[in-house]
Amino acid sequence: MYMRITRGRWEPRKGANVQRLVEERILPAWQKLPGFRGLYSAFDRTNPGRGITDSLWDTQVQAQGARDALGGIVSEITSLGVELEPGEVHEVVVQA
């Protein structure tokens, strides 16, 4: 299993919009893809306007292609003013 980690920054006042986009657009899009295992999205409440999304995938190729699979949703993300760092893909070696 592989984990894709993506960090992002946005204006703190847009946090609810970012959360809604993850819940209503990103999660449903990824749930339709082969190999999708789960998603965790977390906001840094001590440093508003920062967050991280971890998604779990069966293969490295699926994890690496997750952003491209979102298609036009990526432009919705950037139109909110979200700055996304390049995703990192890691193999999961311990799971509890």
pTM above 0.85, yes or no: yes
Give the start-end residues of each E strand in 2-87: 2-9, 36-43, 50-57, 83-84
Give the model's confidence band at 43: pLDDT under 50 very low, under 70 low, under 90 confident, else very high: very high
> How many beta carbons lie within 10 A of that of residue 81, not counting itself?
13
Query: How confident is the model over 45-66, as a mean pLDDT?
Result: 97
Query: How confident is the model over 65-79, as a mean pLDDT?
Result: 94
Can you list the domains of the chain with their CATH numbers?
Answer: 2-91 (3.30.70.100)
> How many beta carbons lie within 10 A of that of residue 94, not counting itself?
4
Q: Please state, in angstroms and as integers, the Cα–Cα distance from residue 16 to each residue in 20, 24, 59, 72, 80, following that order.
A: 6, 12, 31, 20, 11
Angle at 32 between CA 56 and CA 21, to 5 degrees: 75
pLDDT score of 65: 97
Query: How confident is the model over 70-85, as a mean pLDDT?
Result: 94
DSSP code of residue 27: H
pLDDT score of 59: 98
pLDDT score of 26: 97
Q: Is the separation of the CB atoms in 4 and 88 below 8 Å?
A: yes
